Structure 1
Amino acid sequence: MAEKKQSSEPVAGLFTDDSGHPRCFWCEASPLYKHYHDHEWGFPVDDERRLFEKLCLEGFQAGLSWITILNKREAFRAGFAHFEAEELSRFGEKDIARLLADAGIVRHRGKIESTINNAKRVLELRREFGSLGAYVWGYEPHAGQDRPKKLTYEAARAITATAASQALSKDLKKRGWSFVGPTTMYAFMQAMGLVNDHIEGCHVRQAATDARSRFKVPQRS
């Protein structure tokens, strides 16, 4: 009996580079983008500075491509006190003027002022919940909630916001945060591992799933 040949047809939403590893379609543009996809996106985070950075950068990304923000991330870190909320919360008009003159970042006054405002709101959340991580992980969707059983390319493209991201957005806005709409919050949830949106067949999907299984969710105080 002749051996059955395996299909070599590409899977929708994935690409394979010289390494032979299939990856999600959106990270093909550069090695930096691939590294972010392979080692950060979808992996669980509870570190306070990293969480706040991801929140802020997703706000800056609104209306732009993520690769634009990723290419500017080191400049953002340098300009915004490495997203240490205590220091950033003390920024004033001189700092805003400095940032508006910094060509290395996205020079949008509203987003700059929002980042400073949100730093102050982080400190309030810490006093109430113990940490930003404890607050955010309280919005992790339950198994099957808001999610298709199999995340195909078509399913991934269709999801821009969910009940969980809407709830997170609504509560943050009530607490005085800005640039935290439901779509932005869903992108944040993807970035910090609250959901795993690596497409079925992506070689990183299982690694992100395994990381979540080992992850200890921070508890609210």
Structure 2
Amino acid sequence: MSEYCNVAPGHPLHGPYHDTEYGFPITSEADLFERLVLEINQAGLSWLTVLKKRDAFRHAFDHFEVDRVAAYGDEERARLLNDAGIIRHRQKIDAVIHNAQVIQQLRVSHGGFEAWLSAHHPLPHAQWVKLFRRHFRFTGPEIVKEFLMSTGYLPGAHHDQCPVQQQVLAASPAWTQTSSDTNPPG
């Protein structure tokens, strides 16, 4: 999404996200979960809409504490569907709760969300999409691509002339690291 490098700088919401988050590696479970939730909620909307609602998302989803979100029941679903601060879309809300439960399972099977991502890296985009669809809800090709680019697992967040690209490269995102001993599980 190199065109983002041309429009984001200087914008009050896009600028800080572009300059300090987009494409940088993330290891924190809550931060990875937040990014997945935001990408899911962006579907069909603008990224600016999501960024404007980001603080409301954090509050509504308990700062993306996976165990709390995974335990949400009917009362929390109703609360979220009535929260005008977030994107009130039943399928997206259900996907967020389901995906929190998946992340709990990834702790058991792989040691966590970040470890699961690392265990499967590197994969081409199409294989990432298949993998995400086997485990997560509301994760089509564009959502998976943006999630992986934004968290450093796929290249393309910044164009080579973007000053932020050098900072991203210095942070050693996963897409810059390929090793001969990496055998991603199917």
Q: Same fold (TM over 0.5)?
A: yes
Deviation larger for 105-114 or 163-172:
163-172
In structure 2, the gaps of 5 or more residues are none
The structure that has the greater radius of gyration is 1
Distance 1:104 1:41 in 2: 23
What is the CA deviation profile of residues 21-45 of structure 1, one whole-angstrom value per residue up to 9, with x for unaligned ones? Answer: xx81241572221011000001111
Local SS of the residue matching 2:13:
helix
Q: Which structure features the higher share of helix residues?
A: 2
| Residue 137 of structure 1, CA deviation | 2.3
Q: Letter of the 1:194 partner, please give it.
A: Y
Within a 5 Å distance, the mapping from 1:108-187 to structure 2 comes to 108-141=89-122, 164-175=124-135, 177-187=136-146
Distance 1:201 1:184 in 2: 25
* TM-score, normalised by the number of residues in structure 2: 0.86
In structure 1, the gaps of 5 or more residues are 1-12, 15-22, 142-162
Are 1:212 and 2:164 counterparts? Answer: no
Question: Which residue number corresponds to residue 25 of structure 2?
Answer: 44
Within a 5 Å distance, the mapping from 1:66-105 to structure 2 comes to 66-105=47-86
What is the CA deviation profile of residues 51-87 of structure 1, one whole-angstrom value per residue up to 9, with x for unaligned ones? Answer: 0111111111111111110111110010011111111
Distance 1:104 1:140 in 2: 35
Aligned residues: 177
Q: Letter of the 2:148 partner, please give it.
A: M
Q: Letter of the 2:50 partner, please give it.
A: I
Give yes or no for contact 2:24–2:152 (8 Å, CA) kept in 1: yes
Give yes or no for contact 1:140–1:195 (8 Å, CA) kept in 2: no
Give yes or no for contact 2:66–2:103 (8 Å, CA) kept in 1: yes
| Residue 216 of structure 1, CA deviation | 9.7
Distance 1:63 1:29 in 2: 25
Local SS of the residue matching 1:102:
coil
Q: Letter of the 2:140 partner, please give it.
A: G
Question: Which residue number corresponds to residue 193 of structure 1?
Answer: 152
* CA 29–96 in structure 1, closer or farther in 2 if over 3 Å, else same: farther
Give yes or no for contact 2:8–2:15 (8 Å, CA) kept in 1: yes
* CA 29–111 in structure 1, closer or farther in 2 if over 3 Å, else same: farther
Local SS of the residue matching 2:27:
coil
Distance 2:120 2:109 in 1: 16
Give yes or no for contact 1:43–1:196 (8 Å, CA) kept in 2: no
Q: Letter of the 1:116 partner, please give it.
A: I
| Residue 182 of structure 1, CA deviation | 1.8
What is the CA deviation profile of residues 78-124 of structure 1, one whole-angstrom value per residue up to 9, with x for unaligned ones? Answer: 00111111110110111111111111100101100110011111111
| Residue 183 of structure 1, CA deviation | 1.5
Cα RMSD of the aligned pairs, angstroms, is: 2.5
* TM-score, normalised by the number of residues in structure 1: 0.73
